[in-house]
A = this chain, B = another copy of it.
Amino acid sequence: MGLIADRMKNVPKSFIREILKVAESPDIISFAGGLPNPSTFPVKEIEDACRYVLENDGQRALQYSSTEGYYKLREFIAKRYEQKQGLLISPDSILITSGSQQALDLIGKAIINKGDNVLMEEPGYLGAIQAFSVFEPCFKTVMMTNHGPDTDSLEKICKNGKIKLFYGVPNFQNPSGVTYSDKVRSEASKIFLEYGVAVVEDNPYGELRFMGEDIAPMRKHNPDGILLGSFSKIASPALRLGWITAPPEILDAVNTAKQAADLHTNYFSQRVLYRYLSENSIDKHIESIRALYKTQRDAMVASIEKHFPPEVRFTKPEGGMFIWMTLPEKYDSMVLFDAAIKQSVTFVPGKPFYAVGGGKNTLRLNYTSCTPDKIEEGIKRLADAFKNMAF
């Protein structure tokens, strides 16, 4: 008898982590990561917050705490939903998670039965594919256009077979950089409501818009929508602080699952982050991140336009951290990957983002970790590798 449970056989390993190992050499220009630029981390302010919390309430801040999470932090999140998006969400319907990745695990546990149909974007977030795979769903996918999932396909898919759950990243999606238009959000929400599909709206990048206008979340069209958030991209990912807001029945099951999973999220970090948020302007801080990422995004868009031939298509994100590139169909981005490594440049081939296969000729480019000069140099090398591919 093998000791490993059957469910683990379906869980893809992260190809990205393998790539990151290759990318550790200092000569390599890496577009493979998905990391925020560390120069944006509020190091000094977090230090001040640590000191304050430990000097004023140290014993409490180092003790066990509640499964739901620090109430003041949940209040902060609720207030921000109201101020920024006009969403009225009670702090009581928010649960703090160990990064928004954990929210995916808890949702999988709380909702997905083996064999349930779970609808993913194509391409979709790899971490969600991994987290849900553990619970052995039957994945379906809906194709992404430049404005979000194709709503005609969406309607057909929902009509053809019971879909229990849809997972999407409407703002500056990982991996594609695509943002759902207001029209797509409204039409998709209508379809989900009609066919009784539970919606998980993940929003790790929403605050990182550097051009265009904010668009209201799908949650606006559907009060029963599950909404996820994260402090990883606007404060620090090491603190592993995210959250989930969901209707009572689901939140109750998520709470039970959370208790079984790790009792509660790191309480010291919750206290420190809350102190940081209450003593500093997070809006001002986010403004500086946006300004930086816009420069990097502009450099990458300009370099691709300059060095790649027009038959290579790519997205032009209005925020977030990623550009998605589609090569002509005959190309294989895995082959390009090997050629690129020889030119000391890396990226993530698109295949792992396709939950049910496909994506051979696609790839993801991250621009938040390099200077504009490095971006120009890296894209030039990548274009050279592309042009030298033989058939």
Q: Which residues of A contact B (CB under 8 A)?
A: 1, 3-8, 11, 13-14, 17, 35-36, 38-39, 41, 43-44, 46-47, 50-51, 54-55, 58-65, 67, 97-99, 101-102, 104-105, 109-113, 127, 130-131, 133-135, 162, 164, 196, 198, 232, 236-240, 249-250, 253, 256-257, 259-269
**Is there an interface contact between B8 and A109, defined as CB atoms closer than 8 Å?**
yes
Neighbour of A262 across the interface among B44, B67, B101, CB < 8 A = B101
**Is there an interface contact between B62 and A263, defined as CB atoms closer than 8 Å?**
no
**Is there an interface contact between B259 and A240, defined as CB atoms closer than 8 Å?**
no
Nearest Cβ on chain B to A128's Cβ, whole angstroms:
9
**Is there an interface contact between A38 and B60, defined as CB atoms closer than 8 Å?**
yes
Q: How far is the CA of A134 from the CA of B257 in the complex (A)?
A: 8
Nearest Cβ on chain B to A290's Cβ, whole angstroms:
19
What residue in chain B is nearest A47 (Cβ atoms)?
A: B54
Q: How far is the CA of A104 from the CA of B263 in the complex (A)?
A: 11
Contacts of A13 in B (CB 8 A): 256, 259
Contacts of A50 in B (CB 8 A): 47, 50-51, 54
22 A-B pairs (CB sep. < 8 Å): A3-B250, A5-B253, A36-B63, A43-B58, A47-B50, A50-B51, A62-B237, A63-B237, A64-B232, A64-B237, A98-B98, A98-B240, A99-B263, A109-B134, A127-B263, A236-B268, A238-B266, A238-B268, A239-B268, A240-B262, A240-B266, A240-B267
Neighbour of A110 across the interface among B4, B67, B249, B264, CB < 8 A = B4
What residue in chain B is nearest A112 (Cβ atoms)?
A: B5
**Is there an interface contact between A110 and B260, defined as CB atoms closer than 8 Å?**
no
Q: Chain B CB within 10 Å — which of A111, A131, A196, A256 has the most?
A: A256
What residue in chain B is nearest A98 (Cβ atoms)?
A: B262
Contacts of A62 in B (CB 8 A): 38, 41, 43, 46, 236-239
Besides A41-B63, A98-B266, A127-B260, 9 other A-B contacts (C-beta < 8 A): A8-B109, A11-B257, A35-B64, A38-B59, A44-B58, A61-B238, A64-B237, A98-B265, A239-B268
Contacts of A111 in B (CB 8 A): 3-5
What residue in chain B is nearest A97 (Cβ atoms)?
A: B262
Interface SS majority for chain A: helix
What residue in chain B is nearest A235 (Cβ atoms)?
A: B62
Q: How far is the CA of A300 from the CA of B58 in the complex (A)?
A: 28
Contacts of A250 in B (CB 8 A): 3-4
Q: How far is the CA of A265 from the CA of B62 in the complex (A)?
A: 17
Contacts of A1 in B (CB 8 A): 162, 164, 196
Given contacts A38-B63, A47-B50, A59-B38, contact A17 B240 (CB under 8 A): no
Nearest Cβ on chain B to A16's Cβ, whole angstroms:
10
Nearest Cβ on chain B to A244's Cβ, whole angstroms:
13
The 8 closest A-B pairs by CB, nearest first: A43-B58, A62-B236, A38-B59, A238-B267, A50-B50, A130-B260, A47-B54, A41-B62
Contacts of A162 in B (CB 8 A): 1
Q: How far is the CA of A356 from the CA of B201 in the complex (A)?
A: 39
Nearest Cβ on chain B to A110's Cβ, whole angstroms:
6
Nearest Cβ on chain B to A196's Cβ, whole angstroms:
8
Given contacts A38-B63, A256-B11, A266-B266, contact A5 B109 (CB under 8 A): yes
Contacts of A240 in B (CB 8 A): 98, 262-267
